[in-house]
């Protein structure tokens, strides 16, 4: 049965999508069967693994709103152990359409249960908000990875996120855990990055991954080639650190 991990932070641009794609690819390189679930209407994970949106027959919207079976939406990537349920801009309507829907918070959970036995990991790339799509993701997940960018105001908004996690734990998913906190886009040339690391470690203590993701230009280039770093530039620093992170994630199995 897959371990389902939601990669979440309502701030945009902190590295959720970069982490979903590259952690997913790295886990698959370790021989794990991985399903990426793109639940952000921007669909950056989808294009990041080389999927042309015009080729998408069914996206995550059809699964959540139209009860399409998830197996009909799963698509291949250029890595044999890495599959994806894509998102298209159609998903933008789901936030509102879900509001009057029966069992609106558990729709993703119920769907993913149908394919959980086929994978070792399911990684859900969340949108930058704490709306219905994120609540569905937290309800479907066993745990969350919270990427935090090593920047000013790194901790801003985190109490809101943790409050949402607690509400989901209380009402929808008592087993939900914090898998880990990931420091991203670290720049060793600035003192600021080091200060942020200290602050985040004080706050989250042993939940912070030892692997810290540095700024790496290859990581930012890979999506425009529709590839994870594992195939785009396997010898880059970016590939090295996401492989390290994957090993750390596997060590907590």
Q: Which does 184 bind (CB under 5 to 8 A by kind): Mg ion, ligand ADP, none?
A: ligand ADP
**Tokens representing 173?**
């998913």
Residue of the chain from 5, 10, 16, 73 that contacts ligand ADP (CB under 6 A): 16
Inter-residue contact 34 to 19 (CB < 8 Å):
no
- Edge to edge, what strands does the sheet with 34-38 contain? 75-76, 82-85, 34-38, 121-125, 3-7, 143-149, 177-184
- Helix ranges restricted to H, 114-236: 132-140, 158-171, 191-204, 217-221, 229-232
193 makes contact, choosing from ligand ADP, Mg ion, none, with CB < 5 to 8 Å by partner type, with none
Determine which residue in the list 88, 136, 184, 228 makes contact with ligand ADP, applying CB under 6 A.
184
**Is residue 180 at the binding interface for ligand ADP, with CB under 6 A as the rule?**
no
Choice from 4, 28, 44, 228 touching ligand ADP (CB under 6 A): 44
CB nearer to Mg ion: pick between 44 and 216: 44
Q: What contacts 21, CB < 8 A, 6 or more positions away? A: 36, 45, 48, 49, 125, 222, 223, 228
119-158 residues in contact with ligand ADP (CB under 6 A) are 128
What phi, psi does 99 have (nearest 5°)?
Answer: -55, -50
Structure tokens at 224: 């425009």
Of the listed pieces 12-20, 158-166, 226-234, 243-251, which binds ligand ADP according to CB under 6 A?
Answer: 12-20
Is 18 a residue that touches ligand ADP (CB under 6 A)? yes
Segment lying near ligand ADP (by CB under 6 A), choices 52-60, 66-74, 81-89, 216-224: 216-224
Measured from the CB atom, is 11 or 83 closer to ligand ADP?
A: 11
* CA neighbor of 40 nearest in space, from 146, 134, 176: 134
Which residue ranges make up the site for ligand ADP (CB under 6 A)?
12-18, 44, 128, 184-185, 213, 215-216, 219-220, 223
């Amino acid at each position: 049965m897959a371990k389902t991990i939601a990669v979440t932070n309502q701030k945009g641009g902190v590295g959720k999508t970069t982490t979903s794609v590259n952690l997913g690819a790295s886990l698959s390189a370790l021989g794990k069967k991985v399903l990426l679930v793109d639940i952000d209407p921007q669909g950056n994970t989808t294009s990041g693994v080389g999927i042309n949106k015009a080729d998408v027959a069914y996206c995550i919207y059809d699964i959540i709103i139209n009860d399409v079976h998830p197996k009909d939406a799963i698509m291949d990537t250029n890595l044999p152990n890495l599959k994806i349920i894509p998102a298209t801009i159609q998903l933008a309507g789901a936030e509102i359409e879900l509001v009057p829907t029966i069992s609106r918070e558990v729709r993703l959970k119920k769907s993913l249960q149908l394919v959980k036995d086929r994978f070792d990991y399911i990684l859900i790339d969340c949108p930058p908000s704490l709306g219905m799509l994120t609540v569905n993701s937290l309800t479907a997940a066993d745990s969350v990875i919270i990427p935090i960018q090593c920047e000013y105001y790194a901790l801003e908004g985190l109490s809101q996120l943790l409050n949402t996690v607690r509400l989901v734990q209380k009402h929808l998913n008592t087993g939900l855990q914090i898998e880990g906190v990931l420091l991203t886009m670290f720049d060793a040339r600035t003192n600021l990055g080091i200060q942020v690391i200290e602050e985040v470690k004080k706050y989250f203590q042993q939940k912070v991954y030892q692997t810290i993701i540095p700024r790496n230009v290859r990581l930012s280039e890979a999506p425009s080639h529709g590839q994870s770093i594992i195939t785009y530039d396997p010898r880059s620093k970016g590939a090295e650190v996401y492989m390290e992170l994957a090993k750390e994630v596997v060590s907590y199995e």
